[in-house]
Structure 1
Amino acid sequence: MAIKDAVLAQLAVRFEVLLPHLNERQRRLALATEARLLGHGGVRAVARIAGASESTVRRGVFELEAGGELLAEGRIRRPGGGRKTATELDPGLLPALLGLVEPDERGDPMSPLRWTTKSLRRLAAELTRRGHRVSPVTVGRLLRENGFSLQANAKTLEGDQHPDRDAQFHYINDQVKVFQAAGEPVISVDAKKKEMPGQLPNTGREWRPKGEPVRVEDHSFFTGPKGETAIPYGVYDLAADTGWVSVGVDHNTSAFAVATIRRWWQARGQLDYPAATRLLITADAGGSNSYRYRGWKAELAALAADTGMAITVCHFPPGTSKWNKIEHRLFSHITMNWRGRPLTSHEVIVNAIASTTTRSGLRVRAELDTRSYPLGVAISKARMKALPLEPYKARGSWNYTLHPAPLITTEPSPPGSGPTSAVQGRRKVLDMLDDPGLTGMSATELDDVTARPAPAQEAERERRCFQQRGGPRRKAAADHGKPLFTGRDRILLTLLYLRQVCPQRVLAEMLEVTDRVISPVITETRRLLDGHKVKVEPTTLLFTDPDQLIGFLDTGVLPARSRTSLPEELCDPALTGMSRTDLQELIERLAPRQAAFVEGRRHTQRGRPRQPGTRGGVFAQKITDPERVLATVLFHRRVCTGEVLAELFRVNRSTIGNAFRDVRPLLDADGFHLPPAPFKHHTAESLLASIAATKQPS
């Protein structure tokens, strides 16, 4: 019997209203119910009207006829239905996955994932390689089910902490409270990251018309060494909530750091604290204000003498500079203020810093410092000892006070408070060294020698500057970046060295520069003098100490020679255990081999021949090759300690140690062996007294 069209139409209306609100099982049972009510042909009719398959409707009919227990609320299938999980199909999948991603990285140590990014795709590929076929989606689901998630690195490890870290923090806090309670100024100082002016990208974003971003260079290294440098050094007043920033253009030296503090005091500090008698500076442990730098303390001493204030400095322990107040009360706001904006020039940098404000009332003043602060300037030991420096009993290297006493120095060139006076002091030393008794020529002859290589000197300087800049000059030459020594000064220093008046160390100490400044000057100038056929004859003078040289210039008295007869005395058979003839034969046999062995080893280390002026060049060795053999023989017999031999030969302990290391293998190769001495001397006086006792007649 055919089903009437009116019944089918009513059925279609019911399905349209009801089926969208039913789940899979409910829809199947509802369709099966209607099909049973329609009788023969009901399955096909219901399937056609509902848009379902006849098998789905027929399966629902079978479920109704079979009856059975009702499913739990919320379930549409009986337990155990559906496809099995990946871990059920492959029990070894999850352990293999955890072995790849857990921190201890268990499993195959040669896995490529040990050294690469552990993305879902790479993890799935590695698991498939190991025989566990799995998709990246399944890997992600398994990781989330086992408590894994995407995480970035957490900056929580501070490394090894200094044992006095907490004690220093408490001390700084107490000092700040004491100074602020007394109305004395307390400042925090540090240097901000160097910036390179130009159309370069700067992190951050700012509001601009849509589609009109600021155009900057794709890669900042295009600027390279041609670019100028901006060095912001800041001073933050903790009580007034004000900042001062000097933007330098030369080098971040201790002189630049103290010059910034000086400018802050002259412009703001003395106005805000007219009755101040003390100043507290908190600074980190490194950089231009490092607690190790003599220049930092010498410049602060000059500032204390000029201002009449006692300057107390408290350094934060190494690795804790982020706790310095200036970092998060001044520098962080400056960075936020110029975010997303290219720092095209020094003027832009200064204006961006000066416009930095906060809702709490921060005010900042910035100025451009175009003065020169050359590298290589040093402070002599004598001047350092003369500073009015008072280290505190607790952690004196971090906490100290520089009193406003006048600077007392034993040097002929007392440095002043700034770069200008330092140059003047260095000029006095150079004028003092320009003595015919040292140079071996009159002032006219020295001027003539200076004029001959002058064009080549200037050309060499331009070549060196061209190489450092990476290109030609972008502006005319000026006083900025002026070298420490003029062309005539370089000739003078080289002549003194080639005439063997004194070593480079003495020149560096007297001029208060580092060895890295003196050595290139002499090397370059010596090459120019050789090219112009300038002959330099050595002198009989030799000064190993600045005081000896100054004393000779003042009095004309030469220093007494020492260690002339010492090797002969140490050759005593009572010490060496062998006759003088046998000792001389041993020295003649081993000394050339020792020198060749040392030269071969150092040639391998250098990878090239020696430069002029080194071993066997301008100055004699501190200890000769025969003396090295003699010292090793004495040490082999245990006549005395290495410290005693170093004192007797007037060299340091490492030089004697190197002699032992070079000669001892040669003695062993020759089968040299002597019984130990009956007594071992631990002082030089005891050894010399024993030699004198053997010479006395019985």
Structure 2
Amino acid sequence: MVETRDMLAAKFEVIFPHLDERQRRLLMGAEARVLGHGGIRAVARAAGVREATVSLGVDELDGGAQPLGRVRRAGGGRRRAVEVDPELRPALLALVEPDERGDPVSPLRWTTKSTRKLAAVLTGQGHRVSADTVADLLREEGFSLQANAKTIEGKQHPDRDAQFRYINEQVKVHQATTDPVISVDTKKKELVGQFANAGQQWRPQGEPAATLTHDFPGDSLGKAVPYGIYDLAADTGWVNVGTDHDTAAFAVESIRRWWNTAGRIDYPQARRLLITADAGGSNSYRTRAWKAELAALAVQTGLEITVCHFPPGTSKWNKVEHRLFSHITLNWRGRPLTSHEVIVQSIAATTTRTGLRVHAELDTNTYDTGVRISDRQHEALPVIRHDWHPDWNYTLRPEAYEQVNSAPDPFDKPSPDRAWLHHPTLTGLPAPEWDALIATLMTLHDQQRETSLHTRRGHRPRLTAPGTGRRPILTLADRLLAAILHHRLALPQVTIAALFRVRPETINRHLREIRQLLQQAGHTIRPNPHRLATLNDLNDLATAQGITTPPEIKMAC
């Protein structure tokens, strides 16, 4: 059809100058009848006229009109819409100009500005115009269909470029001594199953890979969490495909597997390891667990591990993103990731003409979330913070360090630093009554929590076992102590929040929950004659009753 249209255009260009208007219509109508279905559109495009003009020529041929007829004088015919309505063009431009310059009360300000909608609005304003005419006017004014352009990077850290230079210097120093330099990050998590995957691949015509119409997690066979390690010097990738959570422990375990499998073989004389990572995720510079896990890895491997983080918002400059992950995405484009084996094999088969080779393994271990590193444990880590941006750049020495017990506090017991508040003089509850009340509240709390979670899940079944998840900041016993301090001793919520080292909003929420549980348990906290207002009052009361308060409480007073 394109070839036919081109031939017609060449014919019309030669003949039309010798014909009058009616003769041109009749010629176009004859050509359209010869072409059959679709001929009117093809002839109209070849001649550069409206389809209605060609259709009129066909009708004249079919109607048997007289061969001779009136020829319109020069300059005849309908005038263009913009000539009839001089205000049409400015009205259209007011609608399509960028928002900051356009009409602020335009009904199209928050909708898609299609030619049909533009024509409808202009007609409503008194300008009779069609969608095709709107399109022609927009093209004359230099408008075209435009997509969004990702060019705005947002707020930039003032030390961004300096940090880039510092990372580059560290890379050169380590590579000069043949010590390994790796770039690490977690690739986008993938649902495992018959789900659509972006991209195309060659297949027999008419036989696309069938996938599910919706990507519901409940229809998946699990998830895949690829954590990548890219060796800058060797141009090799190592990907640990997890099936659980993306935690700091998982990230460091991936690095550990890379070192045990490939790193120590490729770098037998290595004494140092440089890791470049972005600023967030499981390898965030703010995550204490990341540093604690790296400290353990340093001791196990004997390597001095240096970490340099890219500034916030610049993760795309991390080498692993565009030298490893981008090629993996291209390699499995258009292919449903139907199993973990498909994912692992697709990653391992990724290569480039420049020599990239990738190794991939499946990691079926489970990794707990909500792991907290205490202040004492964090201070005990053998960390050397660099002079330049010590939050982004630090080194973990391969030295043994104090192992502080970081096991979660029992939920039915007060935290160790708040055990002194458990004294019967302050609670008004002897030990047997306290234990009985806590046991009752534990049962009611579990029921309350499960009901709340069930509602938040949209009444769908839970995917994780009860009792898993993030460790609470305050145990149930801590919350009961806070309620007793507030309702029995009238200690203000702000003071309790300072005592428990949490936000006042947290105390307020827990007091509300504890009141509900106490009502269900049929227990009432009776006010005490002692009314406290400050931590100093609490310290004086405890001292008078022979209760030893922690040093930090005395210092706060």
* TM-score with structure 1 setting the length: 0.56
Map of 1:656 onto structure 2: none
The equivalent residue for 1:269 is 263
Residue 231 of structure 2, aligned match among 215, 237, 244? 237
In structure 2, C-alpha distance between the alignment counterparts of 1:338 and 1:516, rounded to whole Å: 47
Three-state SS of the structure 2 residue aligned to 1:285 is coil
In structure 1, what is the equivalent of residue 95 of structure 2?
Answer: 100
Q: Report deviation, 1:356.
A: 3.0
In the alignment, is residue 414 of structure 1 matched against residue 404 of structure 2? yes
Q: Could you say what secondary structure the match of 1:405 adopts?
A: coil
In the alignment, what sits opposite 2:246? Answer: 252
Measure the CA separation in 2 of the matches of 1:343 and 1:524. 44
Please, which runs of 5 or more residues in structure 2 have no aligned partner?
A: 1-10, 24-60, 486-494
Q: CA deviation at 1:284?
A: 1.0
Q: Report the Cα distance in structure 2 between the residues aligned to 1:99 and 1:387, rounded to whole angstroms.
A: 63
Match of 1:137 among 119, 128, 132: 132
For residue 401 of structure 1, report the CA deviation from its aligned partner.
1.6
The CA distance in 2 between the partners of 1:414 and 1:562, in whole Å, is 23
**Residue in structure 1 matched with residue 157 of structure 2 by the alignment:** 162
Distance verdict in 2 for CA 1:324–1:110, change over 3 Å: same
Q: Is the 8 A contact 2:245 2:366 kept in 1?
A: no
Q: Structure 1 CA distance, aligned partners of 2:151 and 2:421?
A: 65
Q: Assess if the C-alpha contact under 8 Å between 2:298 and 2:304 holds in 1.
A: yes
Question: In structure 2, what is the equivalent of residue 181 of structure 1?
Answer: 176
Whole-angstrom CA distance in 1 between matches of 2:92 and 2:482: 71
* TM-score under structure 2 length normalisation: 0.69
Percent identity reads 51
SS at match of 1:114: coil
- Alignment root-mean-square deviation, CA: 5.0
Q: Specify whether residues 113 and 205 from structure 1 end up closer, same or farther in structure 2 by C-alpha distance, changes over 3 A only.
A: same
Residue aligned with 2:190, SS: coil
1:135-170 CA-to-partner distances (Å, cap 9, x unmatched) read 222222222222222221111122232222222222
Larger Rg: 1
Cα shift at 1:326: 0.9
Q: Which residue of 2 aligns with 1:636?
A: none
Whether 2:191 is the aligned partner of 1:196: answer: yes
Deviation sequence 1:378-405 (CA, Å, 0-9, x none): 3333333333222222222222222223
Question: Superposed, which structure 2 residues align to 1:39-54 within 5 Å?
Answer: none
Q: CA separation of 1:560/1:85 partners in 2, compared to 1, >3 Å: closer, same or farther? A: closer
Task: Return the offset for 1:186.
Answer: 0.8
Tell me if structure 2 keeps the 8 A contact 1:250–1:374: no
Deviation at 1:323, TM superposition (A): 0.8
The one-letter code sitting in structure 1 at the alignment partner of 2:148 is N
The 3 A distance-change label for structure 1 pair 561 and 234 is: closer
Query: Does the 8 Å contact 2:185/2:228 carry over to 1?
Result: yes
In the alignment, the residues of structure 1 paired with residue 505 and residue 341 of structure 2 have an alpha-carbon distance, to the nearest angstrom, of 34
Equivalent in the alignment of 1:336:
330
* Alpha-carbon separation, structure 2, partners of 1:496 and 1:461: 20
- Residue 360 of structure 2: aligned partner: 365
Q: Is the contact between residue 229 and residue 250 of structure 1 (CA under 8 Å) also seen in structure 2? A: yes
User: How far apart are residue 345 of structure 1 and its match?
Assistant: 4.3
SS at match of 1:330: helix
Q: Does 1:26 align with 2:18?
A: yes
Q: Which residue is equivalent to 2:28? A: none
Post-superposition offset of 1:461: 6.8
CA distance in 2, matches of 1:182, 1:267: 21
Distance 1:140 1:534, change over 3 A: closer
SS of 1:159's partner is: coil
CA distance in structure 1 between the partners assigned to 2:446 and 2:102 by the alignment: 66
Aligned to 1:325: 319
- What amino acid does structure 1 have at the position aligned with 2:366? R
Take 1:351 and 1:443, find their aligned partners in 2: how far apart are those partners? 60
Instruction: Say if 1:385 and 1:454 are closer, same or farther in 2 by CA, change over 3 A.
Output: closer
**Pairwise CA distance, 1:450:** 7.5
Deviation track 1:484-506 (CA, whole Å, cap 9, x = no partner) reads 59xxx967666776787x97888
Residue 107 of structure 1: how far off its partner (Å): 5.8
Q: 3-state DSSP class of the match of 1:267?
A: helix
2:399 is the counterpart of 1:405: yes
- Cα displacement (A) at 1:242: 2.4
Q: Which amino acid aligns with 2:127?
A: H
Number of residue pairs matched by the alignment? 480
1:392 aligns with 2:386: yes
Partner of 2:460: 471
Partner Cα distance (2:215, 2:305) in 1: 41
Match of 2:83 in 1: 88
State the alpha-carbon separation in 2 of the partners of residues 329 and 507 from structure 1. 47
CA deviation vs aligned residue, 1:288-337 (integer Å, no higher than 9, x gap): 22222233223222322332222111111111111111111222222223
SS of the counterpart of 1:223? helix
- For 1:23, the aligned partner's letter is I
